[in-house]
Amino acid sequence: MKYPIVKNIINGKTEQSQGELLDVYSPINGEIISQVNMSGKDTVDEAVKTASAAFEEWSQKTLKERVQVFFKYKQLLEENMDELSELIQEENGKTFGEAKAEIEKSIEVTEFACSLPQIASGEIQEVSRGVECRINRAPLGVVASITPFNFPSMVPNWTIPNAIALGNTMILKPSEQVPLSANRLAELLHDAGLPDGVLNIVHGGQEAVEAICDHPGIEAITFVGSTKVAKIVYQRGAASLKRMLALGGAKNHLIVLPDAHPEMAASNIAASMSGCAGQRCMAASAMVAVGESDHIIEKLCAEAKNIIPGENLGSVISQAAKERIEGYISEAEEQGAEILVDGRGADVNGKGYYVGPTVIDHVTPDMKIASEEVFGPVLAIMRTDTIDEALAIENSSAYGNAASVFTQSGKMADYVAENASAGMIGVNIGVPVPREPFSFGGWNESKFGSGDITGTSSIDFWTKLKKTTTKWNPESKVNWMS
Ligand code: NAD
């Protein structure tokens, strides 16, 4: 094995728990590169004890003191960008450029955390004569973050800098499919000066997650992953009265109008459906072509044919994922859809798990591929005569992460932005991820809980408010209502 066993990190020390070991594969070539510790309740107990002890001191530091760690962390992310990107590429299968973009986004969210002293400080107002109201933010205590396989660095970094800078201590439970990057991030945070016990990493799967949901010493949990598990985790954590935010899966629609700029639309749509091998919760998955759009679809297919597995297209995460994705394509074909670009059977030197870019035309809303999350480089095209029919298809989705419109008409763009049922809207943008300080989060079954996971919205999630009302007016008959 190229890497030693990936162990838990508790109180700054790497520790192996009693649990079994699970093989970690590189999806690029299918080789076992490491094994990961599958922890259970005892390890979660130990991590909570440690995080709880560390909270005493960490929460007493000022916000300005705490963010100093993240200024240094940002610098270390920059200095180690190539090495971190190679590790992501190896364990996740995305291309080096995509892995690098993930570190760049990790840097951006860290920069936001560094600005917290300027934007998350308290407020004070004279609310009546001689009467002041003051609001202070207090950290919650021990919090947990549970993350998926598709962004081994970015998604952990959506939560680590903000939650910890705001004074909480954390337990991170990374995906067991990509555990290596999380430990490397913890090493960098240690080098940046984060005290032991403030961030603890518990590796594992369902058993570890259930122990986190049930533990009475954890105040809040964020989850990012599939909708099926998001529902389970949200309900289980809330049942033990925790503050919960659970982001789920997606089926993102791109509504393409005939006046869209053909080259720009085609290249954006191709990049959105195939980037990170379609394994992004913001990936274009369904395109709704309104009216005469053949000229755009032709260009889109030409773009897709230039996306080559093993060159500018990474692998999917596992053999099971490859089979699931190819199964969706075959089923759509059997049901009468037309495969314009076929990515089935992609082969890169006989190794790894690759699916080529796939464009499927004449999909109808009743087909499974029209409504379910495929999570691969596959675009299902549906055709409508009017924009309202297109919006009806988008609105009928159970999900609601992102929706985009491609047009040169501001009026039509506004109409789609207003009427799409999704939390993140793109106008002539295939992957409409909000940039800091704007927050990230979808609607409907793409997110459970209030607020978003990043940006200014996350400040409310990671803190509680203390409201103090003070009267300094010496006149005896003046009360706080005066
Ligand atoms: P997943 O739901 O299988 O796993 C996510 C986490 O949950 C992992 O840490 C895993 O160990 C744990 N887990 C898995 N099964 C569990 C169970 N039965 N009980 C408790 N915990 C369990 O998701 P994944 O396959 O790692 O990631 C892909 C999914 O994540 C896609 O659906 C994608 O859309 C979604 N995603 C969403 C966002 C978003 O912002 N909405 C971002 C990234 C990924």
Domains of the chain are 8-248+446-467 (3.40.605.10), 252-427 (3.40.309.10)
Q: Are strands 220-224 and 243-247 parallel, antiparallel or unpaired?
A: parallel
CA 146 to centroid of ligand 1, rounded, Å: 8
pLDDT of residue 473: 77
Cβ–ligand 1 contact at 279 (below 6 Å):
no
| 8 Å CB contact between 430 and 272 | yes
Residue 397 burial (10 A CB sphere; 0-12, 13-18, 19+): buried
Most informative mutation of 175, 324, 458 for ligand 1 (most atoms within 8 A of CB) = 175
pLDDT of residue 480: 60
441 CA closest ligand 1 atom index: 40
- Name the residues annotated as catalytic: 281
Cβ–ligand 1 contact at 146 (below 6 Å):
yes
Other beta carbons within 10 Å of 329: 22
Most informative mutation of 94, 214, 224 for ligand 1 (most atoms within 8 A of CB) = 224
174 CA closest ligand 1 atom index: 9
Cβ–ligand 1 contact at 249 (below 6 Å):
yes
Give the residues across from 247 on adjacent strands: 224, 447
pLDDT of residue 416: 98
Cβ–ligand 1 contact at 175 (below 6 Å):
yes
- Assigned token pair, 316: 């999917």
CA 224 to centroid of ligand 1, rounded, Å: 6
| 8 Å CB contact between 399 and 374 | no
Cβ–ligand 1 contact at 374 (below 6 Å):
no
Residue of the nearest CA to atom 6 in ligand 1? 148
pLDDT tens, residue order, the chain (482 aa): 999 999 999 999 998 877 899 999 999 999 999 999 999 999 999 999 999 999 999 999 999 999 999 999 999 999 999 999 999 999 999 999 999 999 999 999 999 999 999 999 889 999 888 889 999 999 999 999 999 999 999 999 999 999 999 999 999 999 999 999 999 999 999 999 999 999 999 999 999 999 999 999 999 999 999 999 999 999 999 999 999 999 999 999 999 999 999 999 999 999 999 999 999 999 999 999 999 999 999 999 999 999 999 999 999 999 999 999 999 999 999 999 999 999 999 999 999 999 999 999 999 999 999 999 999 999 999 999 999 999 999 999 999 999 999 999 999 999 999 999 999 999 999 999 999 999 999 999 999 999 999 999 999 999 999 999 998 877 766 666 65
Most informative mutation of 281, 446, 452 for ligand 1 (most atoms within 8 A of CB) = 281
Residue 291 burial (10 A CB sphere; 0-12, 13-18, 19+): middle
CA 362 to centroid of ligand 1, rounded, Å: 30
| Coil vs helix vs strand at 89 | helix
